[in-house]
Amino acid sequence: MVDSDVPPAYDSTGASSSRSDKKNASQAAKPLASSSSRSHLKAKDVGVRSYEKYMGKIGIGSPKVLQKVKTGVQKILTDLLLKQNNIDTETEGFGILEDCSKICATHKVDLGGMLREKSIDGHTALYWAIVKRRKVLPLPDTELQKRVGQSWQAEEALPRLIQELLSFMKPLTPDATADARLACLHAGDTWLFQCIRSYSAPTATDLRLLEGQVADILHFSQFSADTNMPFVVGFQLKQFQKRLKMSKFIILEFIAFGRMFYMKFYVTAAGEGEDAGRWHVYVTLNDDSAPIFVNATLIIDYFEDPSKPYEYTIAGLIRRHTSNVISGLGMLAKFPDPFMHPQSPYIDSEGTLCGSLSISERRVDS
């Protein structure tokens, strides 16, 4: 396909002369200027007019046209997320996606499906929107984290371009979720990952049991690597006993110390000897995370007497789980029988399990 078959990605004037094209290409290739002097490309300058003009020339409705629409929109997304450094994606770039959606709607092209594809250098558009951000989201205070966590889609906490991408992508497919998870890990953005995870489709069991409520609320404390202060993740797991009995596992994920931690509550399968049917919690690392020596403490609230929580501590190496053998790879705790009782003192009146996991990096002499 030659370049003339693809609609122009950015055409603020609608002109088609080669002189104008060369000028635009020259400007796009210039280094990024300082924020005080930079000239931003406005969303209103992009997309709709030039696409309508282009579509009028080639006709509407044929497979060839649909493919050209997809190609043109893909070019805009690629330019927006990878090439056009003079676009401030936090304030202006998000409007470009709205223009793309209008074009796609006109030609019955699934923009959400395009955005969920790993079509930009092996990743989704969302991946690049995350890793290209200049800074991570700061952790808000704990109460705000809880309020945001109670929403399936924590839009108010997200940067505007990422909001816009997610609005067209939702619900995220497992592949798109994994790509977003990887992006947050590469960016080291703990809070952004927690906001985005709420856009993943809930399980059928969670939908039936929770009737639209968020299953798991996580909140984090600030920590300082310089002073070796611990990273603390608090959790509230709704309908804990019912979900664990029906699904056999509940998984939490979070980013700390530049790694993706994986916390799994599970029921031991039949045929596992004396542990069959027992409840456990296991903390390990997900793929792409380097091993780490930690001091870790798991605390589960005891509602009958807050001064007597369940507590489990481990000091040692945590590394990623690469086989069915669990022991020695992470933090493994076996819950005592009272956790399984219908009137368990560890479960509140609404069926919620509450607790926290504290992790600090342990220095090991070489």
Say if CB 233 and CB 216 are below 8 A apart: no
pLDDT value of position 205: 83
pLDDT value of position 273: 72
pLDDT value of position 227: 57
pLDDT value of position 220: 87
Buried b (16+ CB within 10 A) or exposed e, 58-84: eeeeeeebeebbbebbbbbbbbbbeeb
pLDDT value of position 363: 76
**Would you call 250 helix, strand, or coil by DSSP?**
strand
Instruction: Give me the average pLDDT of each 10-residue run along the chain (366 residues).
Output: 43 41 43 34 44 49 81 86 58 74 88 92 92 81 70 64 86 90 92 82 81 78 67 92 92 91 89 80 85 92 93 86 49 87 93 94 71
Determine the Cα–Cα distance for residues 92 and 10; give it in Å rounded to an integer.
14
Nearest in space to 104 (alpha carbons), one of 39, 36, 168, 190: 168
pLDDT value of position 87: 52
pLDDT value of position 37: 32
Domains of the chain from N-terminus onward: 3-109 (no CATH), 202-361 (2.60.210.10)
Peptide bond into 171 cis (omega under 30): yes
Determine the Cα–Cα distance for residues 68 and 48; give it in Å rounded to an integer.
15
Class of residue 134 by CB neighbours under 10 A (exposed 0-12, middle 13-18, buried 19+): exposed
